[in-house]
Amino acid sequence: AQSVSQHNHHVILSEAASLELGCNYSYGGTVNLFWYVQYPGQHLQLLLKYFSGDPLVKGIKGFEAEFIKSKFSFNLRKPSVQWSDTAEYFCAVKPSGTYKYIFGTGTRLKVLA
């Protein structure tokens, strides 16, 4: 079955630390990849997405993600986190040709001021 794994469930960082959140998926075909963020008390919103081309994708608020096809991975990075990045981050995969999105279990990030 198709699945998405986010190995880090809880991450605590100090401000200015670098961030990398892992995301791996199991699906052999072409996929579209997404990272969503949910700030406390708010709804899920798109951080960035990959559909084709340059495997390094830049999103909002200084986030980026790299698609490594051979590793079935789409890891999220930010060089220097801020307190306002405290949120839950979800990786999602949409197999091409479908309308279904498969979500990971999420990573709760807490940034200490």
Partner 1 sequence: DAMVIQNPRYQVTQFGKPVTLSCSQTLNHNVMYWYQQKSSQAPKLLFHYYDKDFNNEADTPDNFQSRRPNTSFCFLDIRSPGLGDAAMYLCATSNALLAGGADEQFFGPGTRLTVL
Stretch that binds partner 1, among 18-26, 45-53, 66-74, 75-83 (CB under 8 A): 45-53
For residues 11 and 108, the answer to whether their CB atoms sit within 8 Å is yes
Least Cβ distance, residue 66 to partner 1 (angstroms) = 16
Question: Is residue 26 at the binding interface for partner 1, with CB under 8 A as the rule?
Answer: no
Kindly state the number of chain residues that form the binding site for partner 1, as judged by CB under 8 A.
Answer: 29
Residue closer to partner 1 by CB (options 52, 113) is 52
Distances (CA, A) of 10 to 13, 69, 109: 10, 25, 6
| Alpha-carbon span 30 to 17, nearest angstrom | 33
Question: Is residue 50 at the binding interface for partner 1, with CB under 8 A as the rule?
Answer: yes
For residues 44 and 36, the answer to whether their CB atoms sit within 8 Å is yes
Q: Which of 30, 80, 82, 84 binds partner 1 (CB under 8 A)?
A: 30
